[in-house]
Amino acid sequence: MTTKTSCADFVQFFRSWVSDPLRVAAVAPSGERLARLMTQEIEPLDGPILELGPGTGVFTRALLARGIPESALTLVEFGEEFAVRLRGRFPEARVVQMDAAQLGQCGFFDDAPFGAVVSGLPLLSMPPSKVTAIVGGAFETMKPGGAFYQFTYGPRCPVQKSILESLGLEGKRIGGTVRNIPPAGVYRISRQNPLELSIGGSKYRSTREGVGISGLMPEAGNADTGRPEANA
């Protein structure tokens, strides 16, 4: 990426932050060092890969550098301004403009389960019900051994322990960098136990008996305030 492109991305990101700081939650895109940490465990054989809140494509480029084919990437982006740029920048990837909290209900991704999910959404700025919907929905789209990668500017896992336990998940810090604005840590969230595959794909089940992801979704009208590469 050229310096000119980097400046253009910064300007677009900053303008988006000014217009809606809760949705974007960061004044600049994530740095390349953080992008490498977020994608360090993902291999080409893990594909297809789902990215949530790709924004200007910093993590997307890191995935491509890891050898992931562009055609194996699905980019879920809520902001129209970012989605348009992503389609032009990564024409072989599937770019879907939607609320990430609807992952478990939309049925768009039943054709092939993902091997990993990379998230740039600001989970810390979201209500617990929305975090549950996003993370739980992501695991509905994943293979049994898949992992959810999330960064945060906070001192601990951005997904509350109670949410992890209710979904049968666990979080582990796998790295951090001070060479980012601001400094950030990276967490791998994975299933505590292997899950069975249904005919339609990898269907997640909550550890709370009788509770599916649809029962954990936020109330209607609770828009996706999560923005890419932000205060996760």
Measured CA to CA, the distance from residue 74 to residue 95 in angstroms comes to: 6
pLDDT digits (tens, 9 = 90+) for 76-127: 999 999 999 999 999 999 999 999 999 988 888 888 899 999 999 999 999 9
Give which of 209, 49, 46, 203 is closest to 118, Cα–Cα.
49
According to the model, what pLDDT value does residue 11 have?
Answer: 53
Residue 166 has pLDDT above 50, yes or no: yes
Q: What is the pLDDT of residues 59-79, one digit of tens each?
A: 999 999 999 999 999 999 999
Q: Are 177 and 156 in contact (CB under 8 A)?
A: no
Query: Under a CB-based contact definition with an 8 Å cutoff, are residues 59 and 39 in contact?
Result: yes
Dihedral angle sign, alpha carbons of residues 103, 109, 112, 116: negative
Q: Nearest 5 degrees, angle CA 183-CA 184-CA 188?
A: 165
pLDDT of the residue at 105? 87
Residue ranges of alpha helices (H) inside 90-156 are 103-106, 128-140
pTM above 0.85, yes or no: no
Name all domains of the chain by residue range, CATH numbers in brackets: 26-216 (3.40.50.150)
Specify the higher pLDDT residue, 77 or 230. 77
